[in-house]
Structure 1
Amino acid sequence: MAVLNLLAPIFLIIALGAALQRGGMLAGPVVAGINKLLFWVGLPAAVFSALVTGAGGNEGAGALLLAMLGGTALTAVLAWWGGPLLGVQARARGTFTQGAFRSNLSFIALPLLLSVPGVPIGQAMLTFAPMLLLNNAVAVWVLLASQDEVGGRMWRRIGLGVVRNPIILASVTGLAARLAGWTPPVALLTTLQSLGRMALPLALLCIGAALMTVPVKGNRRLPLIAAGFKVLLSPLLGYGLGRLLGLDAAAMLVLLICLSCPTAAVSHTMVKQMGGDEGMAATTVVFASIGGAVSLAVVLAQFAG
């Protein structure tokens, strides 16, 4: 019952977002504006304030990060090399791979980490910036590599993506403030926390609205397999690594929330912009969103305090 009480509000808000989109209240331009507000203001404020005030020390963050990076990297490698064996065409290889490993960290994992009981916020936030870097860098690499465009262009895009990402910048500055022992003035901190609290409901509403506009088309077998990699294989690999590294239940909760999240919706936009298989990307997002709800429910049932 506790897990139901925790999950029900999340999925009810997502369903509300879908209903509002259908009713015209969350039309495309409105959702785009809210996403921009979250990306540039709400989520960075939430990350920074959580880092500088998060309970718990930095102990154990290294093992947690290693398990998270390892689970993500192993999934990406298996999808990249296994894709052709499953029938993925050469130019769709990057699309399949990034759909198989790229978690929706900003709009699903982060709000959950900030709201689920038992999450060690300090450790969770310390792993966030490196994971965003890995997700973005590898997604760009596989999409370009499948089109034989690896080179200087790739590194420029990755570099620009890092320096322009406000969530990564908030993670870095928040970490620096935490390590230096600096706490913002009460008025500033309260402002940041208030801005951060808007992130969860708005992000969930936007996810519901976005799912109503993502087209499901083309071959469904390969997107279903990619979604299985994302919401089943990735958390299983992460769980195995977490056990090997001796993670406790609280750290395992952070690890599995991040790895069980569905494929990032923004991956569909990136694939479209970079000439990948748009139909495969969109369908993977939808299938992974459905499967991710089940995976996250299992994780929260087993590990949430």
Structure 2
Amino acid sequence: MEALATFQATLEITLPVFAMVFIGLGLKRARWIDSAFVTTASQLVFKATLPTLIFLSIIRADLEATLNPRMLGVFALATLGSFLLAWGWAWLRVPLTDRGSYIQGAFRGNCGIVGLALAAGMYGDYGLSAGGLLLGVVILTYNAFSVIALATHQEGVTTDWRQMLMQIVRNPLILAVVLAMPVALSGLGLPDWVITSGEYFASLTLPLALICVGATLSLEAIRRSGGLAAGASMMKMVTIPVLATTTAWLAGFEGRELGVMFLFFASPTAAAAFVMAKAMGGNAVLTANIIALTTLIASVTITLGVFGLQMAGLI
């Protein structure tokens, strides 16, 4: 009975998130929303509503309980380990022209949308604030490692590191964290009407973003997925979350910190991977297949992962 109650509680956390994803898929198939809507809505989320959500979650957080440099460091090292694991496996098993896209698809998670939504559902304000701080590490490491993987395995492609650095510095999510930290540390309060207006605006973020994720899913791409896409997807959704979460646990993390880290490690491949693969001459079709496949199976793997960690008393 205890196991059943725990499993039902797990479903109450994960199902609302993935229900919104499949609602987005249904709306796109019903032609109630189109690609233009998805593009505009995604830009609105990335540039405005998500930064607002992160800013508010950090300034309202108890930073003494939330800001953990050791947690950020372990997450960064685990991300590096995941990247190197994907690289090593691809070097042994994947054709040269597909390696960059395979590596990126196998380690780069959709932490800013799916991971953050799950963290918020599971841990409330703590999940949002801790997740917002982790996103700073995510943006830096994922972008840098993805460029390295794609540039290394494509002939005739040169990497403009200065431009990439400027893109990271100007990233709205990074700016939200940077602006929120001094406000939170100073203890200065914003007027109530500003907070309330910001909450209204920020509340658009997760449902709108998840609908866009669902609308970009392609069942045809999933049907076309070959062995490479399936292999990268299994590494992203099973191998890396298990190894990275075990590493974090061995490093002494448990409870809600370990829970947030697991949700970030276990997030499906980020849609931004497709944009980067296409821009840098990678295998965009393989990347799209990995994104679709990992998003589809995430509802199962993440639910089972949370359930297992709860039953083991680790989160």
Same fold (TM over 0.5): yes
Match of 1:138 in 2: 145
What's the secondary structure of 1:103's corresponding residue?
A: coil
- Is 1:248 aligned to residue 274 of structure 2? no
- Is 1:221 aligned to residue 227 of structure 2? yes
C-alpha contact 1:95 1:281 (8 A) present in aligned 2:
yes
**1:95-130 deviation digits (Å, cap 9, x = unpaired):** 111101101012211222223236734433322212
C-alpha contact 1:232 1:295 (8 A) present in aligned 2:
yes
- Is 1:159 aligned to residue 197 of structure 2? no
What's the secondary structure of 2:32's corresponding residue?
A: coil
Match of 1:21 in 2: 28
Write the distance in 2 (CA, Å) between the matches of 1:287 and 1:213. Answer: 9
Quickly say closer, same or farther: Cα 1:55–1:263, change in 2 above 3 A: same
Match of 1:43 in 2: 50
Match of 1:89 in 2: 95
TM-score, scaled relative to structure 2: 0.88
Q: Which runs of 5+ in 2 are unaligned?
A: 1-7
C-alpha contact 2:109 2:269 (8 A) present in aligned 1:
yes
Write the distance in 2 (CA, Å) between the matches of 1:37 and 1:265. Answer: 15
Q: RMSD between aligned alpha carbons?
A: 2.3
What's the secondary structure of 1:288's corresponding residue?
A: helix
Match of 2:282 in 1: 276
TM-score, scaled relative to structure 1: 0.91
Write the distance in 1 (CA, Å) between the matches of 2:257 and 2:77. Answer: 15
Structure 2 residue corresponding to 1:54, chosen from 57, 61, 72: 61
Write the distance in 2 (CA, Å) between the matches of 1:130 and 1:117. Answer: 20
Quickly say closer, same or farther: Cα 1:91–1:180, change in 2 above 3 A: farther
Match of 1:205 in 2: 211
- Is 1:267 aligned to residue 248 of structure 2? no
Q: How far apart are 1:144 and its partner, in Å?
A: 1.1
Q: How far apart are 1:23 and its partner, in Å?
A: 0.9
Q: Structure 2: which amino acid aligns with 1:13? A: M
Q: Which moved more, 1:19-28 or 1:264-273?
A: 264-273
Match of 1:169 in 2: 175
Write the distance in 1 (CA, Å) between the matches of 2:133 and 2:224. Answer: 39
**1:53-96 deviation digits (Å, cap 9, x = unpaired):** 0245256722322232122211111111221311x122221111
Q: Which moved more, 1:235-244 or 1:38-47?
A: 235-244
C-alpha contact 1:57 1:123 (8 A) present in aligned 2:
no
Q: Which runs of 5+ in 1 are unaligned?
A: none
Quickly say closer, same or farther: Cα 1:176–1:104, change in 2 above 3 A: same
**1:238-278 deviation digits (Å, cap 9, x = unpaired):** 21221222112110001000000000012112211211011
Q: Structure 1: which amino acid aligns with 2:68? A: A
- Is 1:123 aligned to residue 130 of structure 2? yes
Residue identity (%): 27
Q: How far apart are 1:49 and its partner, in Å?
A: 0.4
Q: How far apart are 1:221 and its partner, in Å?
A: 0.7
C-alpha contact 2:136 2:177 (8 A) present in aligned 1:
yes
Q: How far apart are 1:280 and its partner, in Å?
A: 1.1
